[in-house]
Chains A and B, each alone.
Chain A
Amino acid sequence: MLEITNLTHTYGSGPSAHHALGGIDLKVAEGELVCVVGPSGCGKSTLLRSIAGLLRPGGGQVVINGTRVERTPDNLAVVFQDYSRSLFPWMSVADNVSLPLRRRRMDRRQRTGTAMEALAQVGLEGAAAKYPWQLSGGMQQRVSIARALAYRPALLLMDEPFGSVDAQTREDLEDLTLRVRGLHNMTILLITHDIDESVYVGDRVVVLSKAPARIVGDLRVDLPGPRDQITTRQHPTFVRLRAEVGRLVRGIPAPPAPAP
Chain B
Amino acid sequence: MRTYHPLDSKLLCGALGAAGLFCVLEAAGRTGLIDPAAFPLASTVLGRAVALLTDEAFLSDVASTLGVWASGLLITFAVAVPAGFLLGTSSQVERALRPILEFLRPIPSIALIPLALAVFSERFDMKVTLVVYAATWPVLINTMYGLKDVDPLAKETLRSFGFGRSAVLWRVSLPSTAPFIATGVRLASAIALIVAISTELIGGGSDGIGSYVLESSGSVDAVQYVTAAAIWAGVIGVLTNGLFVLVERRVFRWHTARTEVV
Q: Specify whether A and B are partners.
A: yes
Once bound together, how far apart are the Cα atoms of A246 and B217, in whole Å? 81
Residues of B within 8 A of A10 (CB): 1
Residues of B within 8 A of A11 (CB): 1
Minimum C-beta distance from A59 to chain B (A): 11
Once bound together, how far apart are the Cα atoms of A13 and B2, in whole Å? 7
Once bound together, how far apart are the Cα atoms of A10 and B2, in whole Å? 11
Closest to B2 in A: A13
User: How extensive is the interface on chain A, given as a class?
Assistant: under 10
Once bound together, how far apart are the Cα atoms of A13 and B4, in whole Å? 11
Minimum C-beta distance from B5 to chain A (A): 13
Residues of A within 8 A of B2 (CB): 13
Minimum C-beta distance from A224 to chain B (A): 47
Once bound together, how far apart are the Cα atoms of A11 and B2, in whole Å? 9
Q: Mark A45-63, 1 if CB is under 8 A from B, else 0.
A: 0000000000000100000
Once bound together, how far apart are the Cα atoms of A245 and B1, in whole Å? 34
Is A12 in the interface zone, CB < 8 Å from B?
yes
User: How extensive is the interface on chain B, given as a class?
Assistant: under 10
Once bound together, how far apart are the Cα atoms of A11 and B1, in whole Å? 7
Once bound together, how far apart are the Cα atoms of A57 and B130, in whole Å? 61
Closest to A58 in B: B1
- The B-contacting residues of A in range 1-37, CB under 8 angstroms, are 10-13
Minimum C-beta distance from A54 to chain B (A): 16
Once bound together, how far apart are the Cα atoms of A58 and B2, in whole Å? 11
Residues of B within 8 A of A58 (CB): 1
Closest to B3 in A: A13
Once bound together, how far apart are the Cα atoms of A10 and B1, in whole Å? 7
Residues of B within 8 A of A12 (CB): 1
Once bound together, how far apart are the Cα atoms of A58 and B1, in whole Å? 8
Q: Mark B1-29, 1 if CB is under 8 A from A, else 0.
A: 11000000000000000000000000000
Closest to A56 in B: B1
Minimum C-beta distance from A19 to chain B (A): 11
Residues of A within 8 A of B1 (CB): 10-13, 58
Minimum C-beta distance from B254 to chain A (A): 27
Minimum C-beta distance from B133 to chain A (A): 40
Minimum C-beta distance from B3 to chain A (A): 8
- The A-contacting residues of B in range 160-204, CB under 8 angstroms, are none
Once bound together, how far apart are the Cα atoms of A212 and B55, in whole Å? 66
Once bound together, how far apart are the Cα atoms of A12 and B1, in whole Å? 5
Minimum C-beta distance from B262 to chain A (A): 16
Residues of B within 8 A of A13 (CB): 1-2
Minimum C-beta distance from A201 to chain B (A): 34
Once bound together, how far apart are the Cα atoms of A173 and B21, in whole Å? 57
Closest to A12 in B: B1
Closest to A9 in B: B1
Minimum C-beta distance from B212 to chain A (A): 49
- The B-contacting residues of A in range 165-218, CB under 8 angstroms, are none
Once bound together, how far apart are the Cα atoms of A247 and B122, in whole Å? 86
Once bound together, how far apart are the Cα atoms of A157 and B2, in whole Å? 28
Once bound together, how far apart are the Cα atoms of A12 and B2, in whole Å? 7
Once bound together, how far apart are the Cα atoms of A12 and B3, in whole Å? 10
Minimum C-beta distance from A50 to chain B (A): 14
Closest to A17 in B: B1
- The B-contacting residues of A in range 56-75, CB under 8 angstroms, are 58
Closest to B1 in A: A13
Minimum C-beta distance from B181 to chain A (A): 33
Once bound together, how far apart are the Cα atoms of A3 and B2, in whole Å? 28
Once bound together, how far apart are the Cα atoms of A174 and B1, in whole Å? 38
Minimum C-beta distance from A38 to chain B (A): 23
Once bound together, how far apart are the Cα atoms of A13 and B1, in whole Å? 5
Q: Mark A208-245, 1 if CB is under 8 A from B, else 0.
A: 00000000000000000000000000000000000000
Once bound together, how far apart are the Cα atoms of A230 and B2, in whole Å? 51
Query: Which B residues are closer than 8 A to A by beta carbons?
Result: 1-2
Cβ-closest 6 pairs across A and B: A13-B1, A10-B1, A58-B1, A12-B1, A13-B2, A11-B1
Can you sample 6 A-B contacts with CB below 8 Å? A10-B1, A11-B1, A12-B1, A13-B1, A13-B2, A58-B1
Query: Which A residues are closer than 8 A to B by beta carbons?
Result: 10-13, 58
